[in-house]
């Protein structure tokens, strides 16, 4: 298999992983892999050049976008969409056992969720925290 195909497959896998994390850091690795694929297509035998080109692009994107994202996040009026979830009510779609993932619907969105309690389907819950793609919930009745 040609090296450029391997780089494209790697870029695709990294892009799918980025979709799960929503952090934009994996996106830079995806773009670096795409650059490496381009170099591999132009110079198929220059393996070191492929790795170096992809690494440099990834590093440059990471270094230059971090201050920009920090500035945007600290700007007046910026609110992370996830912070509004904390305290909201949701409904368990897929039962949650302690230490296991389940699914909770909050508003019109569904989230992977964890809890320290056993929560049955259709039980009302309250969001107590959020990580990148997972929310932690507790039984709603404890807080009403």
- In the chain, the domains with their CATH numbers are 3-74 (no CATH), 83-143 (2.40.50.140)
Q: pTM for the full model? A: 0.56
- d(Cα 91, Cα 106) in Å, to the nearest integer? 7
Return the residue matching tokens 């870029």.
11
Length of the chain equals 144
C-alpha angle with apex 132: 131 to 137, nearest 5 degrees?
40
Query: E strand or H helix at 111, and its extent?
Result: strand 109-114
pLDDT tens, position by position, 42-93: 999 999 999 999 999 999 998 988 787 777 666 666 555 556 788 889 999 9
Cα-Cα-Cα-Cα dihedral sign, residues 17, 22, 25, 27: positive
């Amino acid at each position: 298999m040609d090296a450029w195909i391997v780089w494209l497959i790697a870029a695709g896998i990294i892009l799918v992983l980025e979709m799960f994390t929503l952090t934009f850091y994996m996106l830079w690795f995806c773009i670096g892999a795409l650059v490496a694929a381009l170099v591999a297509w132009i110079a198929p035998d220059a393996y070191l050049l492929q790795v170096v080109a992809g690494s440099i692009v990834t590093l440059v994107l990471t270094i230059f976008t971090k201050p920009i994202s920090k500035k945007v996040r600290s700007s007046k009026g910026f609110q992370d969409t996830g912070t509004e979830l904390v305290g909201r009510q949701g409904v368990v779609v897929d039962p949650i056992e302690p230490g296991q993932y389940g699914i909770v619907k909050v508003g019109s969105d569904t989230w992977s969720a964890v809890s320290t309690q056993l929560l049955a389907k259709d039980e009302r819950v309250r969001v107590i925290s959020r990580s990148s793609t997972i929310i932690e919930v507790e039984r709603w009745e404890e807080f009403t």
